[in-house]
Structure 1
Amino acid sequence: MDAITTTIELAEAERLDRLRLIRSDNVGPRTFRSLLDHCGSAQAAIAQLPELARRGGAGRTLRICSKDEAHAELTASRKLGIRLLALGENGYPSRLATLDDAPPLLAVRGADETLMRPIIAIVGSRNASAAGLKFAGQLAHELGEAGFVIISGLARGIDQAAHRRSIASGTIAVLAGGHDRIYPPEHEDLLTSILAGEGAAISEMPLGHEPRARDFPRRNRLISGAALGVVVVEAAHRSGSLITARMAGEQGREVFAVPGSPLDPRAAGTNDLIKQGAMLVTGAPDIIDAVAPIMARPKSLPLREDDDEPFAPDPENHDRDQIVSLLGPTPVSLDDLIRISGIAPAVVRTVLLELELAGKLERHRGGLASLS
């Protein structure tokens, strides 16, 4: 259930080119997709990167990942049993693939079939209470027995409790760093147990990448994006788990929260989620009943650029200047830029792509962009 069939199988040359593209400077998942739309292939995009960045006003030469670097990463990954899967390939989580910022290449270790089953995320406080740890483990176990895979972030507290109780039924660890940079280090044994069973580990980061603070929200979007819904067991105000819940809502996923004592600050965030409309959870049946109708619906494909509105070959300087003048630190939508400027959509999209490659533009959720 909830599986998809293989739609593509990349040739190795194309996989190498896609790896080079996503590992080059200023190329994130959304930019990667725009470049493929603009250039037609990863190889053509790589060839055009320097010119596009120059037109965007880059102050230095754009670093492009070399063939040797990409080949070395592919070789090292295979030695560790890691597969670099593209969107649409067998083993790429089907719901994750629907995101507009899904990783173009996902580094996967473990059982592919686990990634193709229905997934529920369980997240929560690192400094969890004994009751919270017990409930998270019980919930993970019951959901596993019902056929669901549990996904979480391998963190201390709620994450590790959910992983440990779902090893036998299947669990997925989402890493903030490379597969060889496990955080926290003391959970390497837990990851080993996950991979020895019916589980898997995924990351969008290259080998050798040490997780930094800004990498954890990026990881969290993968946790929520791969899942039917996200269950928050314990979370204080302004916690990372609330970021995951917010991302889940933006991605159209179900948000569940376990109520807690108003005297415990670790329950403040979850209680607020319930006030804001999250579904209250006291047991696995609450979640199973809520996601059953979702599983019966077809998944939506990620939004793509309109094929009838191609990118512009080389925008005029006055158009570029006008678009830049409309941008600022406050995110604005592509539609608003087109409407206010009166400039053709193809030109606006091309200018935004140039600015992003020059390191002058930041993309936001919902199709928004701002000057960086």
Structure 2
Amino acid sequence: MPREMTMRRTATAVLAMTVLATTMTATGAGAAVTVYDKGPGGERYVAMGDSVAAGPILLPQRPGGPPCYRSEKNFATLTAGALRVRQFIDATCSSATIDNITKPQGSEPAQIDAVSRETTMVTVGPIGANDAGIVSTVSGCINPVAAGCKERDGQTVHDKIEATRPELAAALAAIKKKAPRAAIVVVGYGLYIPPRGCPLVQPLTSSDADYIQGLVDHMSRVLRDAARSAKVTFADLRATPGSIDHTACAAPGQRWIEGLVPLSGDGAIPFHPTAIGMKAVAPTVTAAGRRAAVQRNRTIVKNLRGQAACRGSKVRLRVLAKGGPVVRADFRVGRKLLGRDRSAPFTLYTSRKALKKRSGKLTARVTLRLPDTAGTYTVKISRPRCSR
């Protein structure tokens, strides 16, 4: 490549990274957006994360603008559609750090503020790159002919990544406490640049390209470990089929990750997902969401309890659900339906005399709303003495 062209490309890349830094530090109001709410029941989903999750400048953008710059095409939006959730709140925000999950980001409220006890699903991430300064590290590595980032930085950035472990653990614990019935998915970062890079396409030497992807991979491992420790699900974007062929080294129009010089034409900024990239990784997050929902519902079913108590001339039947998207309880004696309740606490009052005349076991058939269908489970209820 001619020296003049190399210098021009390097200068353009540096300018792009500078614009990115300016964009990410803008101030203003951009509170979490309730994209839609179709009423109670079903999955109620909140998405959290940094700019990789938000999709800054990726067209079209949601109303609100800075500092969050959320795209209507980010993977969380596509995941919400694929899971057919009843409510979707996009709390992702560009430039967010792990701290911003539980604390305000300038004028932007903490992302956890979008979560309530009614929330049934949360995706967390990608997040952590801003804590470690990976974006500024990339801008300092831009040079297609002279390596040296790894030698210059040593273990400094890796140490910053390791330091995020307790913050991640605390953030996940806070989410679980505030949304005890939520299925939680931690999302890692993807494959940005292939082994040895592509110096003729992206202005990074082979060794610096490996160094940068190594930092990204380290952050993803920390996110994975945090998910395992918290006993929640991890979505590995690197495992998305085809990732190796659609890095920043791919041709414009084929990239899932925009290069240091934006060429995709969809608004994607340097080293962030393009529109086709968001679409490509959404099934990976969706699959993780389904796994998390199954795990959550198994736990819910395990904790369901049936209860019967005498109350004067009545018997109160109740299903106690420790969280979860329970939408209905059908109370039965033997095969006869006594009645149903569609709201928590799931309760039915029936005549003590009438119940005493009927033989058969007391049960409740409980319906849980899953991402794609409804699951029903039987809960046993012991007869109180007054109805024997």
Q: Quick check: TM above 0.5?
A: no
Structure with the higher helix share, 1 or 2:
1
Structure with the higher strand share, 1 or 2:
2
Normalised by the shorter chain, which TM-score bucket? under 0.3
TM-score after normalising by structure 2: 0.22
TM-score after normalising by structure 1: 0.23
Please say which structure displays the higher CA radius of gyration.
Answer: 2
